């Protein structure tokens, strides 16, 4: 290409200054730049540019100081220009002047819908081979503008998400070079965008700069064939660029850095062409969703919007109806846009967990795919959560049965109608029709309470944590005691999951008492808790430690195996009770009071006890059966079994998790539901407080007596 055929547009800095702050570079620089020095630096750049191209000028205007940054005038491809719509009102005044220039110079001008920001060549850079367009979003330009670029310019658009506010325009951190090279600053982008870049630009063509070069705006460079014009580059960077055949021309632009711009920003290439081979559309997808609830008070709306942007998408709130009274709910319709189908699916499935729904008229059937191999789901299957879920079949919502997390949804036609059901992967059979994608799925969430819930509110922590007062501790245990009493008295179901620590910490007598008094309807654990409990009942030690005195008993380590051996001789725990061998302890009480228990085996089990289920699939099924219909699950220091239980439990079941390790508590109580309570404390102590509190509660029987006395 001859120099004469390459043209750029520039704007003299006659009215240039830093008058306001719309990016981090401008902060602290208002009226701190020198006009004279700016003019001098601009002139130098102008001369350098003229050595390699023709430079046209647009007339500067008073009151729009950033007009010097002509890169933001619009995006040019051949004879067409997409005019910028500035995000900040401070720059919107430039739009008519740039429009006029383009029109006078024979361009076809496209203007974006109002309220759809896009900042021209600052945020959209052509691959120098003309194969595609790189387009940035996240700060100034809206992702939704990208499909317009694809349509009007008939070119493939690759959307890149900017993450660092210092690099608010794509051209501040990204510069496609001749021969397919790329000069860029990877940390300015999210990981999805970095992957996209790496897929399109082979490693030996990627020239990544370090932060010191990035903050000197080394990527804000003008590339004309072999020449790269920029503010400043480190020796190392210069060397790397020279090695691959480029020539660097440095020209200081420090006065413009104060406004957040440099060489590239000050120029707009107005001769750009596309390779005829590479016309293609953008891969961008959009969908509309609805949200309902106490959107503002509960923070639901901001969580949903954060989730969209954190997931790499962007959004537009189409409408929002604010509930007027305290108790009335709000509703919103939001358009979600994502740079690819994958990203969209990820964002949508999280939005569904929050309770988002597609507008009713839009989908009649969620797509289904047929299982072709037993125990294996189709690739794109919808992974279930703990929340009650509905799926769209024949234009109706069908409630999914046997809700649990980490399953697939199987839809079948029965004589009674359509049935949708959660199934584990291993239970899928050839021919099952499985829900794929997320188009017609919704989760039914209880309208969240108006109070904003923070992580702190969900987690009570005492003993060893200075945060909570004694009084607070009492309140939590008091409340749990009250609920336990309610559940027992109305014939409800309380399930305990317990680890061996319950025995080591002296909790056995308290848990035994809860069972004796009818507070426990099922007990889940592993081999260890049963062995320790029985060892204590038979010999007064737990793993050889005397539970009364807290010291090791000589030869005590054998007690553990002796306990196992004794039960094996009897045939089972129940038989040991029957034969009068086992006469106290947690499992003795279970047998005596017909409380079913299930012991799930593991690789580290000694023995095991005859009662321990070493077939893990059978053990999982057993647990699932015992959990069914539970009102509350009390998880006592067993990470393994508690997580197992958590995975099988639908939302709506109150879970109380007690562990001395905050990580376990957080993991288990973080089910995104208000029903879970986590308590960080010693489990023996917790049980003793709980039993104490239960003792303080007045029973209906006592109440009746009191009433009688008063009468
Ligand atoms: N002060 C201007 C702004 O924040 C600087 C624009 C720089 N231009 C660019 N293409 N990066 O909008």
Q: Mapping DSSP to helix (H, G, I), strand (E, B) and coil, where does residue 398 land?
A: strand
In the annotation, is 219 catalytic? no
User: End-to-end alpha-carbon separation of the chain, Å?
Assistant: 108
As a whole number of angstroms, the longest Cα–Cα distance in the chain is 110
Nearest to 449 by CA among 298, 303, 329: 298
Nearest to 535 by CA among 501, 505, 566, 568: 566
For residue 349, what are the contacts with CB-CB under 8 A and spacing of at least 6? 382, 383, 438
Residue 669's pLDDT band (cuts 50, 70, 90): low
For residue 537, what are the contacts with CB-CB under 8 A and spacing of at least 6? 582, 583, 584, 585, 588
CB 293 within 8 A of CB 321: no
Q: Give the Å distance between the CA of 223 and the centre of ligand 1.
A: 18
Distance CA 35, CA 12 (A): 11
Q: Which of 52, 169, 510, 641 is catalytic?
A: 169
- pLDDT at position 572: 97
Q: Pick the atom of ligand 1 nearest to 121's CA.
A: 10
The angle formed by the CA atoms of residues 45, 50 and 54, to the nearest 5 degrees, is: 130
In the annotation, is 265 catalytic? yes
Cβ(22) – ligand 1 distance below 6 Å: yes
CB atoms within 10 A of CB 701: 7
Residue 446's pLDDT band (cuts 50, 70, 90): low
Q: Strand 632-636 relative to strand 654-659: parallel, antiparallel, unpaired?
A: parallel
Residues 462-473 as b or e (16 or more Cβ within 10 Å = b):
beeeeebeeeeb
Q: Pick the atom of ligand 1 nearest to 86's CA.
A: 12
pLDDT tens across 75-128, in order? 999 999 999 999 999 999 999 999 999 999 999 999 999 989 999 999 999 998
Residue 460's pLDDT band (cuts 50, 70, 90): very low
Cβ(33) – ligand 1 distance below 6 Å: no
Distance CA 83, CA 102 (A): 9
Closest residue (by CA) to atom 6 of ligand 1?
261
Q: Give the Å distance between the CA of 259 and the centre of ligand 1.
A: 7
Find tokens 């027992």 and name the residue. 488
pLDDT tens across 509-537, in order? 999 999 999 999 999 999 999 999 999 99
Cβ(66) – ligand 1 distance below 6 Å: yes
Cβ(85) – ligand 1 distance below 6 Å: no
Domains and CATH numbers, the chain: 3-269 (3.75.10.10), 283-363+439-451 (3.30.70.2690), 370-436 (2.40.420.10), 455-702 (3.40.50.10690)
pLDDT tens across 237-265, in order? 999 999 999 999 999 999 999 999 999 99
Q: Which of 265, 422, 590, 657 is catalytic?
A: 265
Please determine, for residue 699, whether its predicted confidence score (pLDDT) is greater than 70.
no
- CA separation, residue 554 to residues 45, 101, 521, 543 (Å): 88, 96, 38, 12
- pLDDT at position 456: 37
Q: Alpha carbon 363 to chain centroid distance?
A: 26
Please determine, for residue 597, whether its predicted confidence score (pLDDT) is greater than 70.
yes
Please determine, for residue 164, whether its predicted confidence score (pLDDT) is greater than 60.
yes
Is this model's pTM higher than 0.85 or not? Answer: no
Q: Give the Å distance between the CA of 87 and the centre of ligand 1.
A: 11
């Amino acid at each position: 290409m001859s120099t004469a055929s390459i043209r750029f547009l520039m704007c003299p800095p006659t009215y240039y200054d830093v008058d306001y702050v719309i990016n981090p570079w401008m902060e602290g620089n208002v009226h701190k730049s020198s006009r004279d020095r700016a003019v001098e630096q601009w002139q130098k750049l102008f001369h350098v540019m003229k050595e390699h191209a023709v430079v046209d000028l647009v007339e500067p205007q008073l009151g729009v100081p950033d007009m010097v940054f002509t890169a933001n005038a619009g995006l040019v491809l051949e004879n067409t220009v997409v005019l910028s719509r500035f995000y900040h009102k401070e720059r919107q005044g430039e739009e008519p002047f740039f429009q006029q220039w383009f029109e006078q110079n024979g361009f076809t001008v496209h203007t974006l819908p109002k309220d759809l920001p896009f900042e021209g060549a600052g945020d959209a850079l052509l691959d120098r081979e003309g194969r595609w367009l790189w387009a940035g979003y996240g700060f100034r330009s809206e992702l939704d503008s990208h499909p317009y670029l694809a349509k009007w310019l008939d070119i493939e658009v690759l959307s890149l998400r900017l993450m660092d506010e210092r690099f608010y325009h794509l051209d501040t951190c990204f510069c496609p070079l001749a021969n397919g090279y790329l000069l860029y600053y990877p940390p300015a982008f999210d990981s999805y965008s970095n992957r996209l870049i790496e897929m399109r630009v082979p490693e030996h063509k990627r020239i990544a700069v370090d932060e010191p070069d990035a903050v000197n705006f080394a990527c804000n460079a003008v590339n004309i064939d072999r020449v790269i014009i920029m503010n400043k580059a480190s020796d190392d960077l210069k060397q790397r660029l020279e090695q691959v055949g480029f020539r660097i021309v440095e020209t200081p632009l420090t006065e413009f850095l104060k406004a957040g711009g440099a060489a590239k920003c000050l120029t707009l290439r107005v001769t750009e062409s596309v390779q005829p081979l590479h016309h293609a559309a953008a891969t961008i997808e959009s969908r509309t969703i609805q949200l309902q609830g106490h959107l503002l008070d509960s923070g639901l709306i901001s969580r949903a919007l954060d989730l969209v942007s954190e997931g790499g998408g962007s959004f537009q709130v189409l409408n929002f109806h604010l509930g007027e009274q305290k108790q009335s709910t709000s509703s919103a319709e939001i358009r979600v846009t994502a740079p690819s189908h994958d990203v969209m699916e990820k964002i949508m499935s999280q939005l569904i967990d929050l309770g988002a729904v597609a507008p009713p008229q839009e989908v009649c059937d969620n797509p289904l795919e047929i299982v072709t191999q037993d125990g294996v789901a189709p690739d794109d299957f919808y992974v279930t959560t703990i929340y009650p879920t509905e799926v769209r079949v024949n234009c109706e919502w069908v409630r999914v049965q046997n809700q649990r997390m980490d399953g697939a949804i199987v839809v079948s036609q029965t004589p009674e109608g359509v049935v949708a059901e959660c199934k584990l992967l291993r239970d899928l059979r050839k021919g099952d029709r499985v829900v794929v994608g997320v188009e017609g799925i919704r989760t039914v969430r209880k309208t969240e309470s108006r109070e904003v819930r923070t992580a702190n509110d969900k987690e009570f922590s005492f003993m060893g944590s200075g945060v909570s007062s004694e009084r607070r501790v009492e309140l939590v245990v008091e409340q749990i005691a009250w609920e336990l009493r309610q559940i027992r008295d109305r014939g409800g179901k309380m399930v305990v999951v317990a680890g061996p620590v319950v025995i080591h910490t002296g909790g056995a007598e308290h848990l035994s008492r809860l069972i004796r008094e009818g507070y426990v309807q099922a007990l889940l654990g592993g081999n260890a808790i049963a062995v320790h409990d029985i060892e204590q009942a038979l010999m007064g030690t737990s793993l050889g430690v005397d539970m009364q005195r807290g010291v090791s008993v000589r030869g005590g380590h054998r007690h553990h195996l002796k306990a196992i051996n004794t039960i094996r001789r009897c045939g089972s725990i129940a038989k040991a009770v029957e034969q009068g061998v086992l006469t106290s302890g947690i499992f003795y009480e279970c047998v005596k009071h017909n409380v079913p228990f299930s012991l799930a085996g593991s690789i580290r089990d000694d023995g095991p006890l005859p009662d321990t289920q070493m077939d893990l699939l059978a053990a999982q099924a057993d647990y699932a059966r015992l959990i069914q219909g539970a009102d509350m699950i009390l998880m006592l220091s067993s990470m393994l079994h508690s997580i197992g239980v958590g995975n099988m439990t639908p939302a709506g079941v109150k879970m109380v998790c007690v562990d001395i390790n905050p990580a376990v508590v957080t993991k288990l109580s973080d089910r995104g539901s208000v029903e879970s309570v986590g308590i960080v404390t010693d489990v023996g102590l917790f049980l003793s407080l709980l039993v104490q509190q239960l003792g303080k509660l007045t029973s209906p029987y006592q109440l009746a007596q009191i009433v009688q006395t008063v009468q």
